[in-house]
């Protein structure tokens, strides 16, 4: 099978955890590395106009073009030469490329939103909402990582075809270890949507000597990070900055729990990484964590500072509960190993390309 992947927003090879590069890069890298064992995969990104072989059968096609229409032309030219069986676009900007390509390329088109603008709880952009609707209606299938997101999309746009395949985790990179720690961990891009202010406020209310290790760089400029540093004055926070994904496992091992205070989280890969590492997860119950963490691999609460503080305090006091929830998390994470998730995509791609 020949698969055309569009990642216009960012290259999956850019280090993740700051700027524009986050969970989507990990998803694209992890998924297509595995699918390329049996298929030819071209990932289209913006860049210097060169094609790089990442591994056998997996290529990064760097298109020297910011205009989405002309970017799509490059895809169409390649399709003319070596016919793709399907196209999978990731994120709304790639979806715009998909809209252009679709006019000419009559192959199945799958789209993953990664963030659904209309479902965000803060900072919604009306133009983007309309474009995302157009993309969802034009593509053949939307692939969403959670049932709750699929249901929400179906409720808003009943004609759109959606199916759920969760994201995965590398259960060999993230492995359990003894949890005798007391400090808590945040991992993610420093962006208002990640709710770090909530976490700082919650920590002010937590009784006991609990410190926070904050891993991740700013998503846009350094302003957000500097703002958080000022806001956190007097609270024991260690700002580690961006950490290479390959070196992240030790941070999960050295923490009592992961806290994900996001206002909106379509899936929350960090939750799965903590689970695979045998660490409980604290977060909000309206986020994608509901389907991975559930009620036995951490504590998910209604959004609020007090509830967040209480959950952190409960888990930091109860070592045994941390242990039980951590090992539940590990067991559940095994079902999300990327090898299993990639097989589900393989079956889906085969089915869709025959339709
Ligand atoms: N991450 C990383 N280094 C960092 C911060 C984050 O490797 O310094 C990774 C993290 O391990 C996770 C991804 O970035 O795999 C973040 O994905 P998530 O779904 O949690 O959030 P998103 O970036 O998609 O909003």
State which of 17, 112, 116, 145 you would mutate to test the pocket of ligand 1, scoring each by most atoms of that ligand within 8 A of its C-beta: 17
Q: What is the chain's alpha carbon radius of gyration, rounded to the nearest angstrom?
A: 20
3-state secondary structure of 301: strand
Where do the domains of the chain lie? 2-168+337-354, 184-334
How many Å lie between the centroid of ligand 1 and the Cα of residue 191? Answer: 12
pLDDT above 80 (res 269): yes
- Residue 337 is classified by DSSP as B
- The residue whose CB lies within 8 Å of the most ligand 1 atoms, and thus the one to mutate among 24, 26, 218, 341, is 26
- Which pLDDT belongs to residue 232? 95
Least confident of 12-21, 41-50, 107-116, 297-306: 12-21
Alpha carbon of 242 to ligand 1 centroid (Å)? 10
Q: Which residues line ligand 1 (CB under 6 A)?
A: 16-17, 22-24, 26, 187-189, 215-216, 242-243, 245, 248, 267-270, 273
How far CA 270 is from CA of 155, 224, 267, in Å, comes to 28, 20, 9
Left if phi > 0, otherwise alpha if psi is -120 to 50, otherwise beta: which for 17?
left
244 alpha carbon – ligand 1 mean position (Å): 10
Q: What number is the average pLDDT over the span 230-255?
A: 96
Closest atom of ligand 1 to 260 CA is: 20
C-alpha to C-alpha distance for 141 and 113, rounded to whole angstroms: 11
The atom of ligand 1 lying closest to the CA of 262 is 25
pLDDT of residue 221: 73
Distance from the alpha carbon of residue 187 to the mean position of ligand 1, in angstroms: 7
Q: What is the mean pLDDT of the chain?
A: 96
In angstroms, what is the span from residue 189 Cα to ligand 1's centroid? 7
Q: How far apart are the first and last CA of the chain?
A: 14
Q: Is the torsion defined by CA of 316, 317, 320, 324 positive or negative?
A: negative
* CA-proximal residue: ligand 1, atom 3 (nearest): 17
Q: Give me the CATH topology for the region 2-168+337-354.
A: Rossmann fold (3.40.50)
% of the chain residues with pLDDT over 90: 93
Q: Are 258 and 296 in contact (CB under 8 A)?
A: no
Ligand 1: which atom is nearest the Cα of residue 215?
Answer: 8
In the predicted model, is pLDDT for residue 139 greater than 90?
A: yes
Q: Quick one: pLDDT band at residue 235, thresholds 50, 70, 90? A: very high
Segment 254-262 shows an average pLDDT of: 98
Q: Please indicate whether the domains covering 2-168+337-354 and 184-334 agree at the CATH topology level.
A: yes
What's the 260 CA to ligand 1 centre distance in angstroms? Answer: 11
- Which atom of ligand 1 lies nearest, measured to the CA of 265? 25
pLDDT at 222 over 90: no
Rounded to the nearest angstrom, the gap between the alpha carbon of residue 51 and the centroid of all alpha carbons in its chain is 26
Cα separation values, 21 from 8, 272, 292, Å: 12, 18, 22
Residue 121: its pLDDT value, please?
81
For 150-167, write each residue's pLDDT tens digit.
Answer: 999 999 999 999 999 999
Site to probe by mutation for ligand 1, drawn from 170, 189, 264, 267 as the one with most ligand atoms within 8 Å of Cβ, is 189
pLDDT the model gives residue 334: 98
Render pLDDT for 64-100 as a digit per residue (tens, 0 to 9): 999 999 999 999 999 999 999 999 999 999 999 999 9
Interval 165-219: pLDDT, tens: 999 999 999 999 998 889 999 999 999 999 999 999 999 999 988 999 999 999 9
- The reported pLDDT for the residue numbered 123 is 79
β-strands 58-63, 51-55 pairing: antiparallel
Residue written as token pair 């995969």:
41
d(C-alpha 165, C-alpha 41), whole Å = 19
Using the predicted structure, report yes or no on whether residue 223 has a pLDDT greater than 90. no
Q: pLDDT for 274-331, tens place per residue?
A: 999 999 999 999 999 999 999 999 999 999 999 999 999 999 999 999 999 999 999 9
pLDDT reading at 224 higher than 90: no
The rounded Cα 282 to chain-centroid distance in angstroms is: 17
Going by CA atoms, what residue is nearest to atom 4 of ligand 1?
Answer: 17
In ligand 1, which atom is closest to the CA atom of 114? 24
Q: Which of 7, 13, 23, 29 to mutate to test the pocket of ligand 1 (most atoms within 8 A of CB)?
A: 23
- Reply yes or no on domain 184-334 having CATH 3.30.565.10: no
């Amino acid at each position: 099978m020949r698969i055309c992947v569009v990642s216009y927003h960012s290259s999956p090879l850019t280090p993740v955890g700051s700027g524009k590069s986050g969970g989507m890069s990990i998803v694209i890298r992890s998924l297509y590395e595995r699918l390329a064992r049996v298929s030819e995969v071209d990932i289209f990104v913006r860049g210097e106009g060169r094609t790089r072989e990442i591994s056998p059968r997996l290529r990064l096609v760097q298109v020297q073009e910011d205009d989405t229409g002309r970017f799509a032309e490059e895809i169409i030219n390649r399709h003319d030469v070596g016919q793709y069986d399907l196209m999978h676009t990731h994120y709304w900007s790639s979806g715009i490329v998909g809209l252009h390509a679709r006019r000419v390329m009559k192959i199945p088109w799958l789209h993953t939103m990664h963030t659904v603008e209309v479902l965000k709880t803060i900072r919604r952009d009306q133009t983007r909402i309309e474009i995302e609707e157009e993309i969802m209606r034009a593509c053949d299938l939307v692939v969403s990582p959670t049932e709750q997101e699929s249901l929400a999309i179906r409720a808003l746009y009943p004609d759109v075809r959606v199916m759920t395949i969760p994201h995965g985790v590398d259960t060999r990179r993230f492995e359990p270890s003894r949890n005798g720690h007391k400090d808590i961990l945040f991992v993610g891009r420093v962006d208002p949507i990640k709710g770090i202010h909530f976490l700082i406020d919650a920590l002010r209310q937590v009784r006991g000597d609990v410190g926070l290790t904050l891993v991740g760089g700013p998503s846009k400029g350094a302003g957000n990070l500097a703002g958080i540093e000022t806001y956190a004055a007097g609270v024991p926070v260690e700002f580690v900055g961006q950490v290479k994904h390959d070196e992240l496992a030790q941070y999960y091992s050295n923490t009592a729990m992961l806290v994900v205070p996001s206002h909106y989280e379509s899936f929350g890969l960090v939750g799965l990484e903590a689970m695979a590492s045998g660490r409980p997860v604290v977060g909000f119950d309206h986020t994608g964590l509901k389907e991975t963490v559930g009620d036995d691999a951490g504590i998910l609460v209604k959004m609020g500072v007090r509830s967040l503080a209480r959950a952190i305090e409960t888990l930091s006091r109860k070592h045994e509960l941390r242990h039980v929830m951590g090992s539940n998390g590990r067991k559940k994470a095994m079902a999300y190993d990327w090898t299993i998730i990639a097989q589900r995509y393989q079956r889906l791609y085969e089915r869709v390309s025959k339709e």
